[in-house]
A and B are shown apart, each in its own frame.
Chain A
Amino acid sequence: MQRFYTLLFISVLSLSTCYSQVVKIREYNSNNELIEVSKPYIIDINGRLSINIDKAILLDTLIGSLDQREYPSEMLELINQALRLQQKTLMSMTTTGSREERLKALDNFRDGMAPLLIYLVEHQDNLAETQFYKDLEEALGKTDQGYKPYFQILDQYYEQVTSRYTAIVSKSSVKFKLGGWLNTEKGAEPFHIEGFDSISSKGIIQVPRFATSIPQSEVDNFNEARKLADSLQNNTEVLIDYMKKRASNTIDELKTIETKLSDILDNGLKSFESRLDSTSASIQQKFRQPVNDLKQSLNDFRVDLAIVKNDVQNITLNKALDIAIEADSLIKDAGRLKIEAEQLYKMVTDEIAAAPSIAQKLKSGLTSDISNVQTQIKNLATEYLNELKASLAVFNESNITELTETAAKFTSSTFALGYNDVPASTILDVRTVGQREVGDEIYFKATIVRDSTSNAFDETVFWQKYSLFHIGLNSSIRASLIFADKVNGNFANTSNDFQLAPSYSAIFKIGSRKSMFYNKYFTPGLGVNVSTLDFNNDNTPEIGIGLTAAFFKDYLQIGYGRNMATDDNFWLFGLRLPLFGWATTGIESAPSSTAIQSN
């Protein structure tokens, strides 16, 4: 084989191509089966992880880090990949069945064959005279044997290279490191991974899945709720005024979005439509319907936005949940709008590309019109989503600062392992990473290092964050201030429609692996609410028991209950404390909006 030499910077570049493949992390589910963890990388806070090191890819990576090597590690990895997919590729070639099945087989065939061949063609100038290239080229010509000769050559070659370099890598100064960090509000702390460091284990710390006692913080919140109920009992308007002040910023933003929407409809799209009128009948026919559909979607969005704005402006206690649901619906509308605008833009550009020359004179005008519309809609949808996230931030109690890769430093207890010493796998019990709460994060980093005076480097080959939540059924106990509305009749000795009361709710939820928004913000749950009421206003507490549905980290609750002493049914609307940082007691008027926003 003809040797040739590759510059070190190419090997460093090559390392980045196998960034996420050297380390593979999977999770054991409740049935003790291994499952893949994909975006958004949510794992069970009390779970178990299987960490696997792909020694073949690690070897490719280490070979690539050496100054001199037979072939670039990128090509080695592509050969490795092609060999892994060999069986699937060969099977796809012989697929029979429906046309759809055979077309899918073509995709598999292409996925298995294309990456390496693309590389070889791209580097044909350098590789064409190598024996490897010549052998492979000859093998492909043996069409009577299909692609078996091709894979045989790949196999032989890969075996030869890795055998030759395994010994070299084992003796070289290139090492592998793997570390993990638990990131909480207090910062990041490294934790022990068996086989990769000598960090002391923190022992097993279980985060209870089901609340079996009332936390002290919730006892304190209950007492606050009791004092608030007493002070606001005859003055519920204070709370509504407070909520309106809080919502005033949101209303201003919604008005801005409304104005921009009108601009898109009255200017952007109108310009596109009038320009469209100048094109041929066939083009007009093609675009009329998609433009009308987009206009309809924009108008629908405008109508829904107006409803939300009106509800926020005239907010009442029993409308808060409706607003939350409408806001969620608007998120989906914004997402759909973006997609429709993108599709229309693509239609226009495809059509322009295929248009006869006579229509080319309109090309730049049409394209720029629809490009402007698309950009405006995209910005609008993004702005609305950002505004919503900012408003929802109050429901996210977490103040965790994201850990960056450069800030994640290995300790002196982390092993720098030679190739032969790297364990192929290890198990991590998440309960041993340290004191943690729902929403905390763990990070993993793997690097290739060489501590050498002339050729030192430190290259990250794996970096991944995982968020910790309860997966599946879990529960919590929350204190909240409820607004009870008797189903039949009024409260004694008062004209109030609502009675304020402190309560506890035991809420059951199901944690998700699929959605960060669901786990961090929306968090729907069902549970039982127990409150201390006084429907007959005789200062003797009555126990109310009801069913409640909770949303947004239990900050909003709605339910139905029964006063066990007076046998009255009631609707309840609940607010978890502390709400918007409003935890003071004996309040008779709402704090100023400035003070609220600073909380």
Chain B
Amino acid sequence: MALDNTIILPDNEAEAIAVFSSALANDKISIIIFGDTEKANLAAPLADNLAKTITAGFHRQVIWMKNIALWANLKSHLGNGTLDVNAIDPNQTICISISLSNKVEYALSTSKTPDNITLTLAFINASKA
């Protein structure tokens, strides 16, 4: 199934940094999905579908970080919003919401089941300046 609104980060760190930086710079409402787990694979296509919605002229995107080892370096590109970026554990998180100013606003725990309701909430929490 094609994920038209999803950017899958490469495993190579240098390439991932470049792709990640570029994704953050394109002024879209973003969520980042962590890992290659069952829940992540369930979340990705649902989130990709929800990313078709345009709100007040702002587009959405999904960034899929299948290799969570990349998080240690990539997180420095993000700022503290409602949540502290250093407090995010990708092993315990299905996805996080990133605001238009690249701040972490919400985290969906792995204790939840990813579905259209939880992922819509993730996009809604990312829908801020």
Contacts and interface: CB of A to CB of B under 8 A. Distances in A.
- B partners with A: yes
Interface of A: 92-96, 102-103, 105-107, 109-110, 113-114, 117-118, 120-121, 124, 128, 133, 136-138, 140-141, 143-144, 146-147, 350, 353-354
B77 interface: no
A118 B116 contact: no
Given A124-B112, A124-B113, A114 B124 contact: yes
B124 A117 contact: yes
A141 B57 CA distance: 20
A469 to B, nearest CB: 40
Contacts of B56: 92-96, 102-103, 105-106, 109
A106 B55 contact: yes
Interface stretch (B36-44, B46-54, B65-73): B46-54
B86 A140 contact: no
A594 to B, nearest CB: 57
B129 interface: yes
Given A121-B117, A128-B113, A354-B80, A110 B57 contact: no
Contacts of A138: 116
B117 A109 contact: no
8 contacts: A110-B124, A121-B112, A121-B117, A124-B118, A137-B116, A147-B53, A350-B80, A353-B84
Task: Give the one of B46, B113, B121, B128 with max A CB within 10 A.
Answer: B121
Contacts of A350: 80
Given A93-B54, A121-B108, 11 more contacts: A93-B53, A103-B129, A106-B127, A106-B128, A117-B120, A124-B113, A136-B117, A137-B116, A143-B49, A144-B52, A353-B80
Contacts of A110: 124-125, 127-128
Contacts of A103: 56, 100, 128-129
Interface of B: 46, 49-50, 52-58, 80, 84, 86, 100, 108, 112-113, 115-118, 120-121, 124-125, 127-129
A133 B58 contact: no
Contacts of A120: 117
B121 A117 contact: yes
A101 B55 CA distance: 12
Nearest to B27: A99
A124 B127 CA distance: 22
Contacts, number: 83
A103 B127 CA distance: 8
Task: Give the one of B54, B100, B116 with max A CB within 10 A.
Answer: B116
Given A93-B56, A350-B80, A113 B112 contact: no
Contacts of A114: 121, 124-125
Nearest to B55: A93
Contacts of B53: 93, 143, 146-147
A451 B24 CA distance: 60
Contacts of A92: 55-56
A140 B57 contact: no
A128 B118 CA distance: 11
Task: Give the one of B118, B127, B128 with max A CB within 10 A.
Answer: B127
B116 A141 contact: yes
B116 A133 contact: no
Contact of B115 (A95, A137, A354): A137
A92 B53 CA distance: 13
A117 B55 contact: no
Given A109-B127, A137-B117, A102 B80 contact: no
A50 to B, nearest CB: 35
Nearest to A138: B116
A147 B124 CA distance: 12
Contacts of B52: 143-144
A475 B46 CA distance: 68
Nearest to A91: B56
B119 to A, nearest CB: 8
B86 A121 contact: no
Contacts of B58: 102, 106
Contacts of A95: 56-57
A147 B113 CA distance: 21
Contacts of A117: 117, 120-121, 124
A350 B81 CA distance: 11
Contact of A140 (B84, B108, B120, B125): B120
A136 B115 CA distance: 11
